[in-house]
Amino acid sequence: MNNYSLSVSGLTKVFGRRLIFRGIDLEITGPGIYGISGINGSGKSTFVKIIAGLLTPSKGAVEHKLNGKKAEDEELPGIIGLASPYLMLYDEFTAEENIDFFSKVRGGKFSSERMRNLFDYFGLTERKDDLLKTYSSGMKQRVKFIFALQHQPSLLILDEPVSNLDIAGKNQIYDMVRDYACEHVVIVASNEESDLALCSRVIYLGDYKNNGNGEGR
Amino acid sequence: MKSNILKVSLFLLISFVIVAGMAFPIVEKPAHWYEFPLIPGLEENAKIVFFHVPTSWVSVIAFFMSTVFSIMYLRKKRIEDDYKAYTAAQLGMIFTILATVTGAIWAKFAWGAFWSWDPRQTSIFALMLIYGAYFALRSAIEDDEKRAKLSSVYSIISFITVPFFVFIMPRIMRGLHPGSADDSHSGPVVNFKMDQNMLLIFYLSLFGFTVLYYWMWSVGHKSLTLKEKVQKSYN
Amino acid sequence: MKQAIALFRKDLSSEIRTRYAINSLLMFIIVTISVILYAIGQEKISDYLTGGLLWVIVFFTAMSGLSRTFVSEEERGTVMALQLSATPETVLSGKFMFNLVLMFSMNIIILVLYSLLFEAFVLKNLSLFLAAYLLGNIGIASASTVIAAIISKAGSKGTLYPVLAFPILLPLMLTLIETTKMSMDGTPFDESLVELAVLGSYNVVMIAASYLLFDIIWKD
C-alpha cells in the first residue's frame, strides 16, 4: 500500500540531570513487530513518545519516511497511531463520539464502515453509545485501540498493550497485532513475555544507559 | 590582571560621575569647567539626569537583551542562552526599580507628586509588571528545559506589546517629562540646554552605567552556567 | 480549517454537557456587578469611572474563564490524544474559536446588565463603542488563548493566569478605556481612527505571534 520506514539515529534523552538513554539507533524498513523492553523506569514510554513526536529528544533525530520522502510534522497524526494506559479520551462523550471527533480533527477520509468493524471486533458495538465514564478500564483500553487503529496508521505504537485486559482480550489483541503487522509497522513497548514473543526484534533500553565513557554496558 | 584594570577604571569612572553629578554647582553663567548651566524650570533638580536617565536606559537595554537571548534559546536550545536572558531580566528589574525610585523622588520636587501616570512612568510600570510576571512564571516551573522554553515564549510575547505602548500612550496621557512633546516648561533638555561639560558628564555616566550593567550581566550568567556544571558533575 | 471546527464543536458540546465554565462565569459576572453596585451605594460616580469599571469586569471575567480550554485538557490528560491526532495549528485555531465565542457571549451579557444597572454609563457614539468592543474582544481572546496555553504547560497554577496576561493586555486595555471615554464624549468616528487602528493591529500582531509560538508551547 505505502512504503513506510522509520529511522532513529543517536537518540538521547536527558530529564534535567538524569540520563534516560543514550545513542539509540534503529532502522525499520519493512512491516513487522518490533519490541521495546526494559525494567520499570528505563524509559520505554519516553522512547515511544519521542518516536510518536510527543516529546523532543535531547539529542538525535527521528525520521518517518513515506515512499522515501521525509514526513513533515503536520503529517504525523495521519501516520502514527498510539495506544497506551496513560492515553486519556474524553469521558463526557460516548465511545463513538470520541472516535468520530478524533477522526475529524485528524482530517483525511473517515470510513464509518471501518469504525463499525473495529467496534465489532473489540465487542463494543452494544456499548458504543454509552458515555466513556461508564466504561470499565479494560473497555476503555479497547476504545484506545480503536482510537489508534481507526485511521490505519503506517506506524502503530502500543505501550503496554495488554494491561487491564483479561486472557480473552489479550489473545484478541495478539491476533490483531499479528494481522496488522503483515502490512504495517508495529512497535510494542512492554515487559510481558507474551508480548515480546510476538516481536521479530527486541531492543533492551538497559543497553543504552552508559554515560558515554564506556561504563555500564 | 587586565580585567582588574578594567574594574578599577570602571569604579573610578562611576565614582567621578557620582561626585561630579551631585557636587558640581549649578550657576547662571558657568565660567569654570566644574559649573553647570541653569536650566529654567529644572534648576537643581536637573542633576537627576546623571543617574535617572542612565538607569532607565539600562532597564531598556536589559529588556531588549532578555528578549534577544530568549529568541536565541528557542532557535538553538542552548541552556546558556536562557541563563543570559534570565540574568538580563534580573538586572533589568534592579535597574527598573532604581529608575522608578529616582524618578519618583525627583517627581515629588518637580511635579509635586511621587506618581502621576505620565507616559514614561506608565511604561516603566508596565515593564515592572512584565518582569514580575516573567519571574512568577519561572518560579512556577520545575523542569529546566520547560522553564527556559515557556519563559522565552513569554518574553517574546511581552516584547511585541511594546510598540503599542509607544504609540498609544502619548495620545492618552499628558507627558510631563522634560523634553516630551507636551512639556511647556523646559522643553527639550538633552542636547539643547545642557552645555558641553554637562553633556560630557551625562555621556560618561551613561557609558559607565552601561559598562557596569554589562559586567554584572556577564558575571551573573557565567556563574549560573558554572553552577549548573558543578551540579551536573556531582550526579 | 475543518479540523479546527471539529475541535471547536467538541469543546462547545463538552461545555454544554458539563456547563462548567458557563455557570461559574455567569455567577462571577453577577457577583462582581452586585459588589460594585453595593460599594457605590447612593454615591454619584463619574461617567468615566463607569467606563473604566466595565473593562475591569471584562478583564477579570476573561481571566476566570478563558484558561479552561487548555487547562482542562492538561488536567484530564487528554492532551496526548489531541497531540497525536491534531496539528498545533488545528488546536490553536479550535481553542481560539471557542474562546472567542465564550468571550463574546459573556461580554454581551456584561454589556446588557451594565447598561441596565449603571445610569451614568451613557454612550453618545454607540457605533464607535461597538467597533472598539468587537476589536477589543478579539484582542483579549487572542492574547488570553496563547497565555492559557503557557500556563497549562506550567502546571496550571490558577493565580498565574491574570499575572501573566495583564502586562500583555495592558496596551489593549488602556486603548479600550480611552475609546470608551471617547464614545461617552460623542467623539466622531474619524477622530478616533488611530485608536481603532491600534486595536486592529494589536489583534493582527497577537494572532500572528500566537501561531508562530504555539508550536513551541504545545510540544513537550
Residue A135 · residue A144 · CB < 8 Å = no
Is 70 exceeded by the pLDDT of residue C144? yes
At B216, list the grid cell.
Answer: 554584572
Residue A189 · residue A36 · CB < 8 Å = yes
Structural domain of B9? 2-24+33-210
Strands (DSSP E) found in A16-113:
18-28, 32-37, 59-66, 69-70, 80-83
At A95, list the grid cell.
Answer: 465511545
Q: Do B146 and C220 touch (CB under 8 A)?
A: yes
Is 50 exceeded by the pLDDT of residue C51? yes
**Considering the domain boundaries, does residue B131 fall inside one?**
yes
Element (H, E) at C207: helix C193-218
Is 80 exceeded by the pLDDT of residue C6? yes
* Whole-number average pLDDT of chain A: 84
Residue range A4-208 in CATH 3.40.50.300: yes
3-state secondary structure of C142: helix
What is the pLDDT, as a whole number, of residue C72? 87
Chain B partners within 8 Å of A15 (Cβ): 143
Please state, in angstroms and rounded to a whole number, the distance separating the CA atoms of residues C93 and C207: 10
Mutate to test the interface with A, among B77, B145, B227 (most CBs of A within 10 A): B145
pLDDT mean for each 10 residues of chain B (235 residues): 78 82 72 68 71 88 94 90 94 92 85 82 88 92 89 94 78 66 49 68 87 91 89 72
What is the pLDDT, as a whole number, of residue B40? 63
C157 touches chain B (CB under 8 A): yes
Please state, in angstroms and rounded to a whole number, the distance separating the CA atoms of residues A120 and A126: 9
**Considering the domain boundaries, does residue B106 fall inside one?**
yes
Is 70 exceeded by the pLDDT of residue A214? no
C156 in the Ramachandran plot: left (φ > 0), alpha (ψ -120 to 50) or beta? Answer: left
Q: Among candidates C108, C135, C107, C138, which has minimal Cα distance to C194? A: C135
Chain C partners within 8 Å of A87 (Cβ): 77, 80-81, 84
CB count in 10 Å sphere of residue C134: 14
**Considering the domain boundaries, does residue B230 fall inside one?**
no
Question: Which member of B74, B141, B171 has the closest CB to residue C216?
Answer: B74
Please state, in angstroms and rounded to a whole number, the distance separating the CA atoms of residues C179 and A110: 48
Residues B70-96 as b or e (16 or more Cβ within 10 Å = b): bebbbeeeeebbbbbbbbbbbbbbbbb
Please state, in angstroms and rounded to a whole number, the distance separating the CA atoms of residues B231 and B234: 5
Please state, in angstroms and rounded to a whole number, the distance separating the CA atoms of residues C93 and C210: 10
- Per DSSP bridges, beta strands A80-83 and A155-159 are parallel
> A58 or B174, which is more confident?
A58
Is 80 exceeded by the pLDDT of residue A212? no
C208 touches chain B (CB under 8 A): no
Shortest alpha-carbon distance between residue C65 and chain A (Å): 19
**Considering the domain boundaries, does residue B220 fall inside one?**
no
Give, rounded to a whole angstrom, the gap between the first and last alpha carbons of chain B: 34
CA distances for A202 relative to A44, A51, A53, A191, A206, angstroms: 12, 16, 21, 11, 12
C216 touches chain B (CB under 8 A): yes
Is 60 exceeded by the pLDDT of residue A70? yes
What is the pLDDT, as a whole number, of residue A216? 38
Spell out which chain B residues touch chain A, with contact meaning CB-CB distance below 8 angstroms.
Answer: 143-144, 231-232, 235
Q: Which amino acid is at A179?
A: D
Give the predicted TM-score (pTM) of the model.
Answer: 0.89
**Considering the domain boundaries, does residue B9 fall inside one?**
yes
Minimal-distance CA residue of chain A relative to C15: A92
Residue A4: phi and psi, rounded to 5, are: -100, 135
Q: Which of residues 134-153 of C touch B (CB under 8 A)?
A: 143, 146-147, 150, 153
Please state, in angstroms and rounded to a whole number, the distance separating the CA atoms of residues C203 and B115: 31
**Considering the domain boundaries, does residue B45 fall inside one?**
yes
Provide the number of structural domains found in chain B. Answer: 1
**Considering the domain boundaries, does residue B222 fall inside one?**
no
What is the pLDDT, as a whole number, of residue B186? 46
**Considering the domain boundaries, does residue B232 fall inside one?**
no
Is 60 exceeded by the pLDDT of residue A112? yes
Q: Among candidates B197, B205, B203, B224, which has minimal Cα distance to B90? A: B224
Shortest alpha-carbon distance between residue B151 and chain A (Å): 17
CA torsion C54-C60-C63-C69 (nearest 10°) is -70
At B14, list the grid cell.
Answer: 562611576
Q: Do C82 and A91 touch (CB under 8 A)?
A: no
> C157 or A95, which is more confident?
A95
ipTM at complex level: 0.91
